[in-house]
Amino acid sequence: MTQASLETIRAASPAVLPSLLLCDFGDLKGEVSRLADAGAKVLHLDVMDGHFVPNMTYAMPIVEGLRRHTEMPLDVHMMISDPLTYAKPMVDAGADLLTFHAEAVIDAAETAQQIAELGVSVGVALNPDTPLASIASCLPHVDMVLVMSVEAGFGGQKFNPIALEKLRALRDADPDLLLQIDGGIDASTIGPARAAGCDLFVVGSAIFKKDDYKAAFADLNAAMTSEIKTEMNGGQA
């Protein structure tokens, strides 16, 4: 199932991944249905422990609950201090892709390999101030790199353009590696991120603070492609 889920994610890209942090948790089944109708192919779950980051969110019960209501791949972003402790419970709950933070572990390559042994796809994330060199050793062992354009766990931050530089460097180094961006993604930032080589775009408020999810997806997808078309036209819209 996991390999099939990874192929589903690859086939869907470039894709908008709704971050369920802002969804209506009193109606998870309804939210999943609305998102599917709007065009979602993958769901993104932000797990925070109140230690690695200052906020706390949901954990395995929410992953398990979502798994009962959808066959869409569940992309679980673990913003936690001890990802290996919770990796297997997350997989057992139904996660398809587990992403850990390079800043949270001593050996990113070893962590990636141990998570992969659980039969799940693996991603590694890094905050804006973390250099790409810190994940170089684990790149052969991961399926995806998540480039944060804001510091993980803190709300109200501005999009950091250093994320675009990292995306370009990663794309130049490996044309086949899945690249994801998270933080401040909306109609104004999704185009530059796509032009930098990104495949997967985690979006929160630009979807969930809209009344019409389908219109929100349409706006994001249009903005995603407009930058590419502009570049192809020599910089003219």
> pTM of this prediction?
0.93
Superfamily name and number for 2-232: Aldolase class I (3.20.20.70)
Whether 107 is catalytic is no
Whether 82 is catalytic is no
Which listed residue (46, 75, 96, 199) is catalytic? 46
Burial track 200-233 (b if 16+ CB lie within 10 A, e otherwise)? bbbbbebbbeeeebeebbebbbebbebbeeeeee
What pLDDT, in 10s, does the model give residues 124-159?
999 999 999 999 999 999 999 999 999 887 665 789
Residue 23 tokens, joined: 């969804």
Instruction: Of 1-15, 94-108, 223-237, give the range with the top mean pLDDT.
Output: 94-108
Q: Within the chain, what is the greatest distance between any pair of CA atoms?
A: 51
Which listed residue (49, 143, 182, 199) is catalytic? 182
Instruction: Please state the domain extents for the chain.
Output: 2-232
- Closest to 166 in 3D by CA, of 133, 122, 202: 133
Residue 40 tokens, joined: 């979602």
Known binding residues for a divalent metal cation are 44, 46, 77, 182
User: What is the DSSP secondary-structure string of 171-206?
Assistant: HHH-TTSEEEEESS-STTTHHHHHHTT--EEEESHH
Q: Give the C-alpha separation, 63 to 166, whole Å.
A: 30
Q: What is the mean pLDDT of the chain?
A: 91
CB atoms within 10 A of CB 85: 9
Q: What is the pLDDT of residue 232?
A: 45
Known binding residues for substrate are 19, 77, 153-156, 182-184, 204-205
- Assign 85 to helix, strand or coil: helix
